[in-house]
């Protein structure tokens, strides 16, 4: 520590009404020496301590997929097609009989395997009768079936009723209706309507027979 030089101060003193100025010197207050003191350094920064990462739990590896082959499920579309085929075979329509007749015996047995024993025996009997037909008779039966399928459902039902009525006719009316159907064979729709509207036709057949002839003639050009 050091002392700075004295600082002169003027002090005015009053003595007996006379002001006398005196110079008083006060010593300078000592101050600590800072200029030559060594600089204070901040504490050195320590590098961050690295902590080991927490170990993750180890899970057991999944077992490899089994190589055992499994049967693939049958798609629903294939199931629907198989059911539709079985239903068609069960119906025993002329179209189905024609397809069955074209199969080999092994293929035919597989196609009929899903039927009950009684239904299978009936279809086999129908198939046997179908195979005994002459080619032109088969063609006539198939043509009638396709014409029936092309009709609206209500008209199709009406034609079925007329066919049943024709089968139930007694002689000689049945022979008369069959002869008329043969006369109409091969006619166009307009020519057939012209014949049915004639006075001769109306006087020969009853109203129910006229409707029967018209329904049957619309689905088959064949003989009865």
Tokens (6 digits) for 205: 């057949």
Q: Is residue 161 part of a domain?
A: yes
Q: Which domain holds residue 203?
A: 152-217
Q: Is residue 8 part of a domain?
A: no
pLDDT at 15: 41
Q: Is residue 91 part of a domain?
A: no
Q: Is residue 9 part of a domain?
A: no
How many Cβ atoms sit within 10 Å of the Cβ of residue 157? 10
* Cα gap 172→88, rounded to integer Å: 38
Q: Is residue 70 part of a domain?
A: no
Q: Is residue 94 part of a domain?
A: no
* Cα gap 27→3, rounded to integer Å: 8
Per the structure, the count of domains in the chain is 1
86 vs 119, more confident: 119
Q: Is residue 190 part of a domain?
A: yes
Q: Is residue 197 part of a domain?
A: yes
- Which tens digits make up the pLDDT trace of 157-208? 999 999 999 999 999 999 999 999 988 887 888 888 899 999 999 999 999 9
């Amino acid at each position: 520590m050091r002392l700075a030089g004295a600082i002169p101060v003027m002090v005015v003193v009053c003595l007996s009404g006379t002001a006398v100025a005196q110079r008083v010197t006060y010593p300078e207050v000592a101050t600590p020496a800072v200029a030559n003191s060594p600089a204070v350094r901040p504490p050195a920064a320590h590098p961050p301590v690295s902590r080991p990462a927490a170990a993750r739990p180890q899970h057991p590896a999944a077992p490899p997929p089994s190589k055992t082959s499994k049967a693939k499920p049958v798609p629903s579309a294939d199931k629907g097609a198989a059911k539709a085929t079985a239903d068609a075979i069960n119906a025993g329509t002329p179209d189905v009989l024609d397809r069955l007749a074209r199969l080999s015996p092994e293929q035919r047995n597989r196609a009929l395997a899903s039927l009950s024993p009684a239904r299978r025996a009936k279809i086999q009997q129908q198939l046997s009768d179908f195979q005994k037909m002459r080619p032109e008779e088969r063609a006539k039966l198939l043509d009638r079936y396709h014409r029936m399928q092309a009709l609206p459902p209500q008209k199709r039902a009406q034609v079925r009723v007329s066919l049943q009525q024709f089968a139930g006719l007694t002689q000689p009316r049945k022979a008369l209706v069959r002869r008329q159907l043969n006369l109409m064979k091969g006619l166009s729709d307009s020519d057939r309507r012209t014949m049915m509207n004639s006075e001769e036709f109306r006087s020969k057949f009853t109203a129910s027979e006229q409707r029967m002839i018209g329904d049957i003639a619309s689905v088959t050009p064949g003989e009865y």
